[in-house]
């Protein structure tokens, strides 16, 4: 028998109530960790972009593609080493719930992204096949595909069923980089687009600049060149481009944080009520403990330990569940949020939130129990 035995025995007093409270805390903390992880991953994506790459899009937005004819003129701009381009294809594999990003890219594009690591054999095989595709390793695993397999995507922008042969697999050359996309030849897209009268344009250009310090001047020069054209451009760093995607969600950081705080606050109320109820029911026992010689501090520590145990179990459930789901099972919300990983930072924030819940929940009942006058409590019970 130790003090821990007493705490454990008290937790087992109303098993159903304890289990439900732990489950409630677990689910709330799981939700909190998931929201924070999603937010953290979004921010990480924004951080991934390179300062030596510039992205050129239509000034009006990515849905208005600039002409393919810009390529040669962009290549001629001073300070630009190479030009690549890509277009969003928007193909669906079997069912919309199987969503994943699929892009048409020119050969230069992949070369400009050292983050996309493809073996020389796979790169060669991809280059040699007009309908070839390179897919991320997580995407390959997700659908159990194999190299050499033909997959059919149903076009949403370019109607019809389109076949692609997987010729290569890429992995991320940098932590946090997406491994769930598919790249195929832009010239194949142009064939598809030509038959539908949508050829001659690209989604965006990517420029590699020789000196990152010159990037702002180059960007300004390009945008000035096309200022009065039918397709004015917006040139920004790769990083800014990625962040603008996140910006499309609106102030998602504030939104997710607000939901997270609301979840924590709601569960704090539930937890505080449960712990207060549990402590109040046992005032007579607290009086007995004090009669036996337990000090106010001893009693306070017992109530706090009980609250900490409940919240700790909830944290284990919520944080452990999220870790298992995202870090071990690689759950990506059906392809909507690939690369979700519970980071040590998020785990620390969740632990902090749990500690806050435990302290705030236990504060009043622990104080009341510690201050309880034995004679009053015994008289009340009698």
User: Of 181 and 278, which CB lies nearer to another protein in the complex structure?
Assistant: 278
- 368 touches another protein (CB under 8 A): no
By CB under 8 A, name the one of 72, 76, 248, 382 that touches another protein: 382
- CB neighbour list of residue 108: distance below 8 Å, 6 or more residues apart: 82, 83, 84, 85
- 378 touches another protein (CB under 8 A): yes
Candidate ranges 5-13, 30-38, 101-109, 162-170; the one touching another protein (CB under 8 A): 5-13
Give the number of residues in contact with another protein, rule: CB under 8 A: 27
Contact track, another protein, 298-327, x by CB under 8 A = x-----------------------------
By CB under 8 A, name the one of 243, 296, 343, 347 that touches another protein: 296
Give the helix ranges, DSSP H, for the chain.
3-11, 15-48, 70-75, 107-111, 120-128, 137-143, 186-195, 215-225, 238-247, 252-281, 283-292, 296-322, 344-371, 374-381
User: Of 57 and 278, which CB lies nearer to another protein in the complex structure?
Assistant: 278
> Among 364, 358, 373, which Cα is nearest to 316's?
358
Q: Is 85 exposed, middle or buried (0-12, 13-18, 19+ CB in 10 A)?
A: buried
Least Å distance, CB 315 to another protein, is 24
CA distance 201 to 71: 10
φ/ψ region of 61 (left if φ > 0, alpha if ψ in -120 to 50, else beta) reads: left
By CB under 8 A, name the one of 289, 315, 350, 353 that touches another protein: 289
Contact track, another protein, 13-52, x by CB under 8 A = x---------------------------------------
User: Of 144 and 293, which CB lies nearer to another protein in the complex structure?
Assistant: 293
3-class SS of residue 178: coil
Q: What are phi and psi of 349, to 5 degrees?
A: -60, -45
CA distance 113 to 48: 11
157, 90 Cβ separation under 8 angstroms: yes
By CB under 8 A, name the one of 146, 293, 328, 344 that touches another protein: 293
335-364 binders of another protein (CB under 8 A): none
User: Of 221 and 374, which CB lies nearer to another protein in the complex structure?
Assistant: 374
User: Of 10 and 309, which CB lies nearer to another protein in the complex structure?
Assistant: 10
226-285 binders of another protein (CB under 8 A): 284-285
User: Of 69 and 381, which CB lies nearer to another protein in the complex structure?
Assistant: 381
214, 223 Cβ separation under 8 angstroms: no
> Among 30, 16, 21, which Cα is nearest to 309's?
21
345, 255 Cβ separation under 8 angstroms: no
Q: Is 287 exposed, middle or buried (0-12, 13-18, 19+ CB in 10 A)?
A: buried
Least Å distance, CB 317 to another protein, is 23
- 3 touches another protein (CB under 8 A): yes
By CB under 8 A, name the one of 297, 328, 329, 344 that touches another protein: 297
179, 130 Cβ separation under 8 angstroms: no
Binding site for another protein (CB under 8 A): 1-3, 5-6, 9-10, 12-13, 284-285, 288-298, 374-375, 378, 381-382
């Amino acid at each position: 028998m130790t003090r821990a035995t007493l705490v454990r025995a008290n937790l087992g007093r109303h098993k159903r109530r304890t289990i439900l409270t732990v489950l409630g805390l677990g689910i709330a903390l799981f939700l909190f960790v998931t929201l924070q992880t999603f937010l953290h991953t979004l921010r990480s994506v924004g951080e991934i972009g390179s300062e030596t790459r510039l992205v050129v899009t239509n000034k009006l937005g990515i849905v208005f593609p600039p002409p393919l004819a810009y390529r040669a003129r962009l290549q001629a701009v001073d300070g630009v080493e190479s030009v690549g381009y890509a277009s969003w294809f928007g193909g669906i594999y079997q069912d919309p719930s199987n969503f994943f990003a699929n892009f048409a890219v020119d050969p230069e594009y992949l070369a400009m992204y050292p983050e996309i690591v493809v073996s020389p054999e796979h790169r060669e095989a991809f280059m040699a096949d007009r309908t070839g595709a390179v897919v991320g390793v997580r995407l390959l695993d997700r659908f159990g595909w194999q190299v050499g397999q033909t997959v059919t995507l149903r076009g949403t922008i370019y109607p019809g069923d389109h076949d692609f042969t997987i010729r290569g697999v890429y992995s991320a050359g940098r932590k946090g980089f997406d491994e769930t996309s598919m790249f195929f030849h832009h010239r194949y897209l142009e064939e598809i687009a030509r038959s539908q009268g949508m050829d001659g344009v690209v989604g965006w250009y990517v420029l590699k600049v020789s000196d990152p310090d010159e990037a702002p001047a180059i960007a300004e020069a390009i945008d000035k060149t096309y200022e009065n054209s039918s397709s004015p451009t917006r040139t920004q760093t790769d990083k800014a481009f990625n962040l603008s995607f996140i910006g499309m969600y609106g102030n998602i950081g504030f939104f997710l944080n607000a939901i997270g705080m609301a979840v924590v606050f709601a569960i704090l109320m539930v937890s505080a009520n449960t712990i207060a109820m549990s402590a109040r029911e046992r005032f007579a026992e607290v009086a007995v403990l004090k009669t036996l010689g337990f000090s106010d501090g001893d009693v306070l520590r017992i109530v706090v330990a009980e609250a900490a145990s409940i919240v700790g179990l909830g944290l284990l459930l919520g944080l452990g569940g999220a870790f298992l789901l995202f870090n071990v099972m690689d759950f990506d919300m059906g392809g909507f949020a690939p690369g979700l990983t519970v980071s040590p930072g998020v785990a620390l924030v969740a632990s902090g939130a749990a500690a806050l819940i435990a302290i705030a929940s236990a504060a009043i009942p622990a104080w009341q129990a510690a201050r309880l006058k034995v004679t009053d409590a015994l008289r009340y019970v009698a």
